[in-house]
Amino acid sequence: MTGLFLGTMALGLSLFATTTVGAKEIKIDIVHTNDVHGHAGAWPYVKGLANQLRVTNPNNVSIIDAGDACAGTAFASMSDGLDVARAMNRVGYDAMVLGNHEFAMATQTLKNIVNEANFPILGVNVVQQVPDLLTQIPEIQGYIIKDYNGVKVAFLGLTTSSTSETISGKKQSQGDYRVEVIESLRNQAKAEGAQIFIGVSHLGDTDPEPTMRSTYIAEKCPWLTAIIDGHSHTEHPNGVLHDNGVLVGQTGEYGNNIGVMSLTLDKSETDATVKVLAKSDRLIKIMEKDVPVNNSITPDTEVKNFVDEVNARNEATLSEVMFTTPVELIGDKPLIRSRETNFGDIVADAYRVAGNADIGFAAAVTIRANAAAGPITYGRLLELLGSEQRLLKYHVTGQKVWTMMERALSEYPAVWNDFQQISGMVVEFDPTKEGGKRIYRITMADGKQIDLKKTYSIILREDMISNPDNTGDLESLPRESVGTVYPKFIEYAKAHAPSFKAEIDNRLLVVDMDKLKAEEAAKQQEEQGKDEPKETDKDKASDTPIPPTGSDKGSDNTGQSPTQPTKNLGGKTAVLVKKIAENPLFLVVIVTALSGLGFIFKARMLTIKEK
């Protein structure tokens, strides 16, 4: 049984006996990979290493993958991942857990891969990310059980997902949801006789949210013997042994390393108890930028021949030059997922133009690497922009755009999988503020500030519609397909590549929000002051300032002595001119008043003269 159990889960009894009387030792070697991303040159060596281990341990060697194998290179993209499944079949994988790049594929594409694979695909908790996926691909399993000389070991699959709901629908942390899932799988596997439990997870150990990491599963599930992990592309040369005894292994990325996790078990001859005597993990370096660097492992001939045949078949198409870039395009993971880059600007522009939209979003996680200045072939391009996806056009409010950008910038300047490269707007934000409250202003291409109630058109890839604000509500909104990633990007690049530049467009601007708000408030106060006279009529009749009171006596804000006239006639004249300009009748009043004063002055002079 491999389904996801719905209900309350009780903790199981201890699996391990404290005695070894009448016991026998069993060694298990688990060859593991993760985040290979279609770098097919690694697979002949994976099979070659397993062949070597089976010389001394013929019955107890397994091969496990922790996700993100089927997308990322031309080898993968040219067949929509099917050649990856075919290569892994020849390697002899025992199981693989879904990675985010697998479940982000179009459902039919993933279904084809699952059907092509002759090994189980794990990851039933993906239902929280793609609700109807298990209905359409029921072959996806929760776990498998392998028998090693009478010891039943369960491999429990757990993929990355974004949800705060538990199986029973209660709100809690995403990590606690996953704990509930894996405990449910353990209970099911235990009912089928499993004695040892190993997690196969695509979680990683670097997510800004601690409960999203594999380390959280290790902490909460001390009954696990080990976790074979992926997603964060982390290299653990000897694994990480947690305080509670759970061993976590991860190999890095792109098939550069192969992991070997070894367990020594003590099986009782008189009952079903099993004790773990030893556990370890090690990495073996085999590749560096797709070039083999290990001469101690003989690559498997069958797997190598298949990889070579696929590459030869694709060569003509892959070698065609799509465009030539005059500058290096920056798409390396630490940069593209933490700040604006020139490649990010270009890709977001291409998407926006493809749908004639107000805003283009290019999820940073879908831009895979730098591209050197010079010709870009189709094969190289397939390594840069991930899997082929539809570009979808939505109409959303300015408030939705604001929320999407708050999430994208919530972890800045850290590397963040939900970071967005953008087109059609400039976002000013303050990274010193709390995540979700960082944006000061969004200015659209027409120079106007975004209207939170107005509707704007946006473009993004289909595989990223759940990422922008983590609500998933885009999936239920009306949308329009405006083409797919590669044809639209190639069309844009051919037209605009000569003008590609090394500099960024400063679409993401770091600001001091408190300073800007203070300046804004001061400006508003100044504007209000211009509309209202700052002095009374009595003040205007005299240049002598009103003396300050209290402790301020003897000084004023201008630094002048309060006993001296303030020479500011020019300023008063300006106020007078402004008043006249705003209301011509004011001039009549002044003239009349001056005429009256002249008449009184003349009468007074006549009186003096008569005296």
* pLDDT digits 0-9 by tens, 529-550: 776 665 555 554 444 444 444 4
Neighbouring C-beta atoms of residue 499, cutoff 10 Å: 8
Residue spans per domain, the chain: 34-312, 319-514, 568-601
Whether pLDDT at 4 is above 80: no
pLDDT greater than 90 at residue 450:
yes
Q: How far apart are CA 95 and CA 122, in angstroms?
A: 7
User: Among 36-45, 160-169, 262-271, 516-525, which range has the highest average pLDDT?
Assistant: 36-45
> How long is the chain?
611
Q: What kind and span of H or E run contains 148?
A: strand 143-148
Confidence of residue 596 (pLDDT cuts 50, 70, 90): low
Residues 6 or more apart in contact with residue 120 via CB below 8 angstroms: 94, 95, 96, 141, 144
Q: What is the mean pLDDT of the chain?
A: 84
Least confident segment among 58-67, 181-190, 207-216: 207-216
Average pLDDT over residues 468-476: 63
Q: pLDDT per residue over 494-523, tens digit each?
A: 999 999 999 999 999 999 999 999 999 999
Q: How far apart are CA 435 and CA 445, in angstroms?
A: 25
Query: Which CATH number does 34-312 carry?
Result: 3.60.21.10
Q: Note the pTM of the prediction, 2 decimals.
A: 0.70
Residue 148 CA to residue 478 CA, distance in Å, equals 52
- With a cut of 50, say whether residue 564 has pLDDT above it: no
Q: What is the mean pLDDT of residues 134-154?
A: 94
Where is average pLDDT lowest: 195-209, 383-397, 431-445, 472-486?
Answer: 472-486
| pLDDT per position as a tens digit, 398-433 | 999 999 999 999 999 999 989 999 999 999 999 999
pLDDT confidence tier of residue 586, bands split at 50, 70 and 90:
low
Question: CA 234 → CA 35, 202, 249, 280, 287, distances in Å?
Answer: 10, 12, 9, 17, 16
The residues near 71 (Cβ < 8 Å, ≥ 6 apart) are 37, 38, 77, 81, 101, 102, 105, 386, 387
Contacts for 532-541: CB closer than 8 Å, 24+ residues apart: 533/575, 533/579, 535/572, 535/575, 540/572
**CB within 8 A of 231, min separation 6: which ones?**
34, 35, 66, 67, 68, 99, 100, 160, 201, 202, 203, 204
Task: At 333, list the tokens.
Answer: 């993971």
Q: Name the more confident of 46 and 542.
A: 46
d(CA 601, CA 595) in angstroms, rounded, equals 10
| DSSP-derived secondary structure letter, 109 | H
- What is the C-alpha separation between 111 and 103, in angstroms, rounded? 10
The secondary element (H helix, E strand) that includes residue 283 is: strand 274-285
Question: Is the pLDDT score of 480 beyond 60?
Answer: yes
Taking only the tens place, the pLDDT of each residue in 296-309 is 999 999 999 999 99
Q: Which of 158-162, 271-275, 433-437 has the lowest mean pLDDT?
A: 158-162
Q: Residue 469: what pLDDT?
A: 56
What is the reported pLDDT for 52? 97
The Cβ-side half-sphere exposure at 412, using a 13 Å CA radius, reads 29
How far apart are the C-alpha atoms of 247 and 222, rounded to whole Å? 10
Amino acid at 432: T
pLDDT band of 135, cuts 50, 70, 90: confident
Would you state the pLDDT for residue 599?
A: 46
pLDDT value at position 130? Answer: 65
Alpha carbon separation from 192 to 139, 195, 314 (Å, rounded): 19, 9, 45
Asked if pLDDT for residue 486 goes beyond 90, the answer is yes
Write down the CATH number for the domain with range 319-514.
Answer: 3.90.780.10
User: What angle (nearest 5°) sits at the alpha carbon of residue 29, between those of residues 26 and 33?
Assistant: 160
Q: For 164-193, what is the mean pLDDT?
A: 79
Mean pLDDT over 67-85 rounds to 93
Residue 485 or residue 21, greater confidence: 485
User: In percent, how much of the chain has pLDDT > 70?
Assistant: 79
| Per-residue confidence band for 144, with pLDDT thresholds at 50, 70 and 90 | very high
Which region among 203-217, 273-287, 455-469, 574-588 has the lowest average model confidence (pLDDT)?
574-588
pLDDT cut 90: percent of the chain above it:
67
